[in-house]
Amino acid sequence: MKRLFPLRIEKLALEGYGLGYHEGKAVFVPCAVPGDEIEAWLLRERKDVAFAQAENFLRRGEGVIPSRCAAFGGEDPCGGCDWLELDYPWQLRYKRELLSELLQPLAPEVEIPETQASPVQIHYRNKAFLPVGGDEKGLHCGIFARWSHHIVQHQSCLLHPPLFDKIAQRCLEILYRTGVSPYDEISHSGTLRHIGFRCSRDLEQVQLILVTRSGKLPFSNLLVKQLTTEFPQLCGIVQNINRERGNVILGREEKLLWGEPWLFDAAGGVNFRIHYRSFWQVNTPLLERIIGILSGMLSPDDVVYDAFAGIGSLGLCLAGSVKKVLCIEENPAAVADGEFTAEQNKIANASFLCAKTEDALPALLGTANAENAERPQVLILDPPRSGVQSQALQAITSAAIPRIFYLSCSPITLYRDLKILLDSGLYRINLIRPCDMFPQTWHVETLVGLELTAQAKAPAE
């Protein structure tokens, strides 16, 4: 294949690539959409596929708009956004199409509705961790470029609140003057690795997290004094210490430099305490839409297990609609947040179990079967991108839980896990609902509902 060649983008593929065909090979191109006609520059080639970038756009497809961000269309574009040049209705359309192509064969009879739109399409992220670099002019931060760890700087990112960038810039100015150096992942030297944020929806509370390679952070008291004076929204400043090599952002050690390691935010009528280590969906308004969808499908007599519960953002919000909720979560900080939140909101019918889901479900469901104890009618699964472990899926099918709601941010692992549940012969899919948790990117949150088949129900009846 020549280094430079003409290509027409025919469709979109997972990971946000535009897909075209040249010399019998599938060619994947980032930041390209169906209908684009481009001069493609070959980046790498395999036996059946190739990866390229758009050297020139000869013609643009439907729905393309100006990107509004200089970092998106540069020579080394930022990897934060995939579809910033797509008008929002087209983003919703393509997310539904991607999911339909992958999941519709698993449930041909289920109609997949239009993607649930996010109430907010820009500056929606309540959490961000930005890698830090530097040169002779000072420290800087940004987002990694696609396929690399090159930091692409920006003045104001369209994904998170502008306040994050203002605090970051001021923080880095102060740290540079105190002699703090950026982390170098090759030599495993330097101090500052990432600068992180989490905020409440109203931006009245902001956490600042400084991830460092060692425990030393000179003039930290001066930093705290200046930042808290200039930014009264700050409610906590944490130094997280990550001494290890690798791509994991947070380390096991921490120092609380000022304030508290958590903030407070509300969703679904519940006021949550959220530790900086705890999982909390990045798009709170869209989270509330999902809670609304789920609450309409539950009944007052339901016993619900909320697995991979985090701080209980789903389970605690749904507790008022059901008989009982058990939240299963392995992160102690998240469990502490959830228990505090339940007590403060007087939610008496919800409890937490601090355990890994793959360990807890076999034990809980096996005990319920053996002792005829109170078994769940509903199981909510909201796993990380890696999906649900095989032993947990085995426990689910062995217990034949009547209804399952699987909320996933990874279509690939969602498909894998659904296939296992369906292959058991016990379940059928009755709901597939794409939800746009991540506007301006290809990522999509998907809610899938499963129920026991008529044949699986028959023996119990």
Which residues are identified as catalytic?
409
Neighbours of 25 (CB within 10 A): 15
Q: Using CA of residue 47, residue 53, residue 59, residue 60, what is the dihedral sign?
A: positive
Q: H or E segment at 32?
A: none
Report yes or no: 408 and 445 within 8 Å, Cβ to Cβ: yes
Sequence-distant (6+) residues with CB within 8 A of 99 are 112, 411, 432, 434, 444, 446
408/431 Cα distance (integer angstroms): 13
SS3 of 315-338: HHHHHHHCCEEEEEECCHHHHHHH
203/235 Cα distance (integer angstroms): 11
62/16 Cα distance (integer angstroms): 16
Q: For residue 112, which phi and psi values (nearest 5 degrees)?
A: -95, 115
Hunting for tokens 């659904």 — which residue is that? 418
8/34 Cα distance (integer angstroms): 8
Report yes or no: 206 and 167 within 8 Å, Cβ to Cβ: yes
Task: Report which of 364, 322, 319 is spatially closest to residue 341, judged by C-alpha positions.
Answer: 319
130/141 Cα distance (integer angstroms): 6
The DSSP secondary-structure symbol of 16 reads: G
Where in 87-176 does DSSP place strands (E)? 127-135, 138-144, 151-153
How many CA atoms does the CB half-sphere of 433 hold within 13 Å?
20
- H-assigned helices in 296-410: 315-318, 332-344, 357-371, 390-399
207/260 Cα distance (integer angstroms): 9
Task: Report which of 441, 442, 381 is spatially closest to residue 416, judged by C-alpha positions.
Answer: 381
- CA distances to 47, 316, 357, 444 from 108, in Å: 33, 33, 30, 20
